[in-house]
Amino acid sequence: MANDASTVFDLVILGGGSGGYAAALRASQLGLDVALVEKNKLGGTCLHNGCIPTKALLHAGEIADAAREGSEFGVLSSFDGIDMAGVHKYKDGVISGLYKGLQGLVASRGITFVEGEGRLSSPTSVDVNGQRYTGRHILLATGSVPRSLPGLTIDGERIISSDHALVLDRVPKSAIVLGGGVIGVEFASAWRSFGAEVTIVEGLPHLVPAEDENSSRLLERAFRKRGITFSLGTFFSSAEYTDDGVRVTLEGGKTFEAELLLVAIGRGPVSAGLGYEEAGIAMDRGFVLTDPYCRTNVPTISAVGDLIPTLQLAHVGFAEGILVAERLAGLNPAPIDYDGVPRVTYCHPEVASVGITEAKAKEVYGADQVVTLRYNLGGNGRSKILKTTGEIKLVRVRDGAVVGVHMVGDRLGEQVGEAQLIYNWEALPDEVAQLIHAHPTQNEALGEAHLALAGKPLHSHD
């Protein structure tokens, strides 16, 4: 395997998605010589098959809903259908612009970008296209792919993954979505806005089961009003083709039929056959195990992003990549508090949160030490103008800080920035209540909720 001075680096990164390229950018900024290896396109899942394209589809769905509902605002508009070719042109234009910008950014930082399928060949080297790239340190950031279940074959036609759903050339007349987590409810929301009949199958008791139960119930109520049906609390058993679609059978024998089945049960790590085990890296079910500083058990190897068993979010990948780069450059970065990471599900209505749920808070602090408050958006002027409903729920330790902010309502994902400051700076309700929030905004609802929690409600009842 060829190796020369031009292929020796301070840091070699395997994977050019969110975690990998964030590490590359920060490491180069700190003076490290970096090689970034990617077999597909720079930007990874988030840019090309995840965050960006799905949100573009959801925004197109929002426009469709607005066209249908124009008369509610005195606007004479009509909905004539979905041009999927036009939707994809819009979506792909967003991706293309961001992709070109990212390519230019990486090039401007002097990062050596290597296109090709890499494999870890030792604790200090990666082989790509017959060339060996040696690094003082190796960062693994190979990401994830859609998962399936034993016996359930994704064929890309009637039984599809989220990758297939993003390039579907039509709006399905009907669809079954297997999985009621973030991916499942976002596609269900977009397809319903496009006009499809959608049924979600979730084996756990609630949609978005990782969220606070109150948020789940609010989303379920909103989905019922939108005509999205769902089956909760019973697990999938089997799927079979019908003459014109798919039949899904649950463990109790109940069946559903639709044109398509979207398998949205989560994503699994990309690690098989990449030399990780041979290098002695500790792993669990395909995930690379790390400490709070993203270090593996092999001193020269770190890992970030969907490859490790932390939150599978692009901004978590960014943060982990930056943490590794700063640690390798001799700085002293703090470990990530994963409870303090903002989380947004971009369905209609949106679900946003930061901190811990009420149930978790009671586990940690004791039920008698947890206080909650629910602020209904019905009292918020901006939300009334937008005709959105929902709530902001606060969870605090009695006489202490706010440890959870949970929000449901259109556009509330844009409010999670202040919510994460409240949690991460361990704010007391009285401290937030002192801040002046602009009127009329949905951001004001956060302020009102804290006013109420501080015992001095303004536009809400005691």
Whether the Cβ atoms of residue 377 and residue 383 lie closer than 8 Å to each other: yes
Task: Verify whether residue 439 is a known catalytic residue.
Answer: yes
Q: Of these residues, 406, 437, 439, 450, which one is catalytic?
A: 439
Whether the Cβ atoms of residue 385 and residue 439 lie closer than 8 Å to each other: no
Tokens 């920060």 identify what position? 26
Reported as half-sphere exposure (CB side, CA atoms, 13 A), residue 44 has a value of 27
- Using alpha carbons only, what angle is made at residue 294 by residues 293 and 297, rounded to the nearest 5 degrees? 105
Whether the Cβ atoms of residue 39 and residue 117 lie closer than 8 Å to each other: yes
Pairing of strands 246-250, 112-115: unpaired
The H-or-E segment that residue 392 falls in is: strand 391-397
Q: For residue 180, give the DSSP letter.
A: -
**The dihedral sign for the CA sequence 176, 179, 180, 182:** negative
Whether the Cβ atoms of residue 14 and residue 138 lie closer than 8 Å to each other: yes
How many other CB atoms are found less than 10 A from the CB of residue 453? 22
DSSP β-bridge partners for residue 132: 127
385: Cα separation from own chain's centroid: 28
Reported as half-sphere exposure (CB side, CA atoms, 13 A), residue 68 has a value of 13
End-to-end CA distance of the chain: 73
Is residue 328 helix, strand or coil?
A: helix
What are the catalytic residues?
Answer: 439
